[in-house]
Amino acid sequence: MSKGKTILLVEDEEAIAYALKLNLEAEDYTVHLCETGGKAITFLQHHHADLLLLDVMLPEADGYQICMHFREKDKYTPVVFISAKNDHQSRMHGLRVGADDYINKPFNLDELMLKINRLLFKNDLRKDHDIVYFGDCWIDFTTLEAKGVNGTKVNMSKLEFDLAKLLITNKDKPLSRAFLYSKLWGYDKKHQPNSRTLDNFMVFIRRYFEKDISNPEYFVSVRGVGYKFVG
């Protein structure tokens, strides 16, 4: 599990940072250590990490701020807090800003290692799923499940999933009506139906995922062409 995995460790207590780095590297993890929140945010802007291990109380930016900043772009990569702030309110705040776990100091090293392995394993399983996030919504094209606006579960037809996937996989690229009819219904350009079938399907998709159907943010019309997905 650890082979090829990179962990960002953000810890300003030298003794704890050294011990964690040493033990993680002994398990064949690549560890990048940052002593301040500012350095961690800069690192994440330019580098990949498979797991974040964050202290809460840090110079420049605290662990909560790092996590919130990170979650704006990455909803999946595991984040674990390790903190001396062991009150219920601090723990709940850490989980609310996007952490997968919150471990109190002093901690049991073996338990921490097991949790890291578990989270990385679960994340590898998730990568087998074809999930797309946009705004507060997501679509899982493997399980054919979706969450729409206001956190509502969406019951989409298979054809609606196919249309959404076709647009999303061609992100920012306008797809013509003829192309969409060809891919979804098998019509060629000469025999494209005159009905508003495609438009009706787009209305449904917008109802699922757009806050303002009349002014869509993600599934937009391209005048004279067709539609495109903007993520």
Distances (CA, A) of 198 to 42, 63, 116: 44, 47, 46
Measured from the Cβ of residue 116, the count of other Cβ atoms closer than 10 Å reads 23
Say which DSSP state 189 is in: G
Longest dimension (CA), the chain: 73
Q: Which residue has the tokens 């005159």?
A: 194
- The DSSP result for 112-175, as a single string, is HHHHHHHHHHHHHHHTTS-EEEETTEEEETTTTEEE-GGG-B----HHHHHHHHHHHTTTT--E
The rounded distance, in Å, linking the Cα atoms of 143 and 204 is 20
3-class secondary-structure state, position 111: helix
218 and 231 Cβ atoms separated by less than 8 Å: yes
Cut 0.75: pTM above it:
no
- On the question of pLDDT at 126 being above 90, the answer is no
Quick one: average pLDDT of 45-67?
A: 95
Quick one: average pLDDT of 119-139?
A: 81
57-83 pLDDT, tens digit each = 999 999 999 999 998 888 779 999 999
The rounded distance, in Å, linking the Cα atoms of 84 and 86 is 6
Distances (CA, A) of 159 to 166, 178, 182, 191, 229: 10, 16, 13, 20, 16
